[in-house]
């Protein structure tokens, strides 16, 4: 079996005791790396100031070598905050209004990708299979090819691929596409992303859809398919079952005694639709006064990317909005919205999902959305809750038992909350069972194996 080399912007390096940061993606990729032996390379998350970072720092853990490099202040600003988070992220989430194109940032993005390739190339052996993750690293394969690497290289995009009309507003869309053409396999979250990709290539005359998942562009042929990412379903269900004994989960249960809990969990990000969700909750609770004092909406929102102004602004907006609703409709013994602006541990999160009658997951755009899948996996099979899910999350294409909503439609979303709270237990069980069976079958190990099977298959496009 060929060695595997995973490259991603950040690397979940285990601590000194060998404990890796939790999360399905890290667990699945680490399992694949342990089995095959290999390297996980990326940015350390640290800056070397104005000095050129000298060496890759490495740590060995079983069969896996973790290799990370620092970046200069300028690199971090241009590559990470600049192009990745202020251009690619908003464009792929349909927020043209937030994209800030700057030649400097675009150049920094390509420069850092070249730097990563230079640091990575000496570690690569001829038979290694390389798997690159996400929008930060699109040009990496082209840079590795420039150095002369002929290895199989695959790319998986965790975020949406937007429609052609949106994508072409980005001045360097052709360079981005040229970068993608150097991979042997491109993976997207959903068929919808894949269709957008094929549509973009053919409509802009940049490439051809050759059928059977094969495409050509910039003189190269490559394969492309949808690989919807999953979670560690069985392990997460078990974690949620056990978490009811956790002291924080017990306290939470006591504090909502006699009320239904609605839960939202998102990084603080404009793509997650948090303000629209608060609007929908406010609409629901003001138009259904019988539910006042009968439901609590818990929104857990760890801070993210606070260096980007839009994120800092959003943090203020959400806090103000929650405060305003609580001030307007709360009572001496009832706080309608509990807003937590910090991260919770994974098992507390699992326990809270299980306590909640509604999982409220309403992104304006999302590649997949793992929270929706985790909420389903965490439910008690006898009394499962209801998932209220945005039709614009990749997960909506799989989770057919959810109540699908359009998050821009405040009234419709508010009505879905009312419907979920009055749904019979039989219907709740039936909807949940179908989703849970799907998630058990399509878990994150399957996602990882399917992608690697296709990347290493003999039929993959040979260039």
- Using CB under 6 A, list all residues that contact ligand GDG: 23, 25, 158-159, 229, 265, 267, 300, 302, 343-346, 349, 366-371, 374
Shortest CB 452 distance to ligand GDG, Å: 16
Collapse the DSSP code of 13 into the 3-class scheme (helix H, G, I; strand E, B; otherwise coil) and give the result: coil
* Residues pairing with 4 in the sheet: 38, 129
Dmax over CA atoms of the chain, in Å, equals: 69
365 contacts 389 by C-beta, under 8 angstroms = no
Shortest CB 332 distance to ligand GDG, Å: 29
**Beta-carbon count within 10 A of 424 CB:** 8
Shortest CB 392 distance to ligand GDG, Å: 11
Residue 372 tokens read as 């929706």
Q: Alpha helices, DSSP H only, in 20-157?
A: 24-36, 73-75, 89-92, 103-120, 140-147
- 382 belongs to the catalytic site: no
Q: Which is nearer to ligand GDG, 230 or 336 (CB)?
A: 230
Query: Of residues 133, 136, 158, 442, which has the active-site annotation?
Result: 158
- 366 belongs to the catalytic site: yes
Shortest CB 371 distance to ligand GDG, Å: 4
> In 3D, which of 160, 155, 167, 175 has the Cα closest to residue 223?
155
Collapse the DSSP code of 134 into the 3-class scheme (helix H, G, I; strand E, B; otherwise coil) and give the result: coil
Shortest CB 156 distance to ligand GDG, Å: 8
Q: Which is nearer to ligand GDG, 65 or 369 (CB)?
A: 369
Q: Which is nearer to ligand GDG, 260 or 366 (CB)?
A: 366
What is the chain's length? 463
Query: Of residues 266, 279, 366, 443, which has the active-site annotation?
Result: 366
Q: Which is nearer to ligand GDG, 324 or 391 (CB)?
A: 391
Q: Would strands 57-61 and 64-71 be described as parallel, antiparallel, or unpaired?
A: antiparallel
Long-range contacts of 13-17 (CB under 8 A, 24+ apart): 13/59, 13/66, 13/68, 14/59, 14/61, 14/66
Q: Which is nearer to ligand GDG, 373 or 431 (CB)?
A: 373
- Active site residues per annotation: 158, 366
């Amino acid at each position: 079996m060929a060695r595997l080399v995973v490259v991603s912007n950040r690397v979940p390096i285990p601590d000194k005791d060998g404990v890796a940061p939790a999360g399905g993606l890290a667990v699945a990729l680490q399992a694949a790396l342990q089995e095959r032996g290999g390297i996980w390379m990326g940015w350390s998350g640290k800056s070397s100031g104005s000095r050129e970072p000298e060496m890759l720092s490495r740590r060995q853990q079983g069969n896996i070598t973790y290799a990370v490099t620092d970046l200069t202040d300028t690199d971090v600003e241009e590559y990470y905050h600049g192009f990745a988070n202020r251009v690619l992220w908003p464009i792929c989430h349909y927020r043209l209004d937030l994209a800030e194109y700057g030649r400097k940032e675009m150049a920094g993005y390509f420069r850092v990708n070249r730097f990563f390739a230079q640091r990575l190339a000496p570690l690569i052996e001829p038979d290694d299979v390389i798997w690159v993750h996400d929008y930060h690293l699109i040009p990496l394969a082209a840079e590795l090819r420039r150095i002369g690497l002929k290895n199989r290289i695959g790319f998986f995009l965790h975020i949406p691929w937007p429609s052609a009309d949106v994508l072409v507003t980005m001045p360097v869309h052709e360079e981005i596409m040229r970068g993608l053409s150097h991979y042997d396999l491109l993976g997207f979250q959903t068929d919808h992303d894949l269709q957008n990709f094929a549509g973009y290539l053919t409509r802009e005359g940049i490439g051809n859809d050759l059928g059977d998942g094969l495409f050509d562009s910039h003189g190269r042929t490559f394969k492309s398919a949808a690989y919807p990412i999953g979670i560690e379903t069985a392990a997460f269900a078990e974690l949620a079952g056990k978490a009811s004994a956790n002291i924080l989960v017990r306290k939470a249960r006591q504090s909502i005694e006699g009320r239904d809990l609605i839960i939202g969990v998102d990084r603080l990000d404009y793509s997650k639709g948090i303000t629209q969700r608060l609007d929908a909750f406010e609409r629901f609770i003001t138009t259904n006064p019988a539910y006042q004092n009968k439901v609590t909406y818990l929104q857990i929102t760890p801070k993210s990317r606070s260096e980007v102004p839009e994120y800092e602004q959003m943090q203020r907006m959400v806090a103000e909005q929650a405060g305003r609703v609580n001030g307007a409709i709360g009572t001496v013994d009832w706080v309608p919205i509990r807003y937590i602006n910090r991260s919770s541990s994974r098992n507390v999160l699992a326990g809270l999902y299980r306590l909640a009658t509604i999982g409220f997951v309403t992104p304006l755009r999302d590649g997949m959305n793992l929270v929706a899948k985790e909420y389903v996996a965490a439910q008690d099979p006898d009394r499962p809750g209801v998932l209220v899910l945005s039709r614009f999350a990749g997960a909506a294409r799989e989770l057919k038992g959810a109540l699908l909503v359009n998050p821009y439609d405040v009234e419709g979303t508010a009505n879905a909350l009312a419907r979920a709270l009055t749904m019979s237990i039989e219907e709740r069980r039936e909807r949940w069972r179908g989703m849970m069976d799907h998630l058990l079958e399509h878990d994150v190990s399957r996602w990882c194996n399917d992608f690697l099977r296709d990347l290493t298959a003999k039929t993959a496009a040979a260039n």
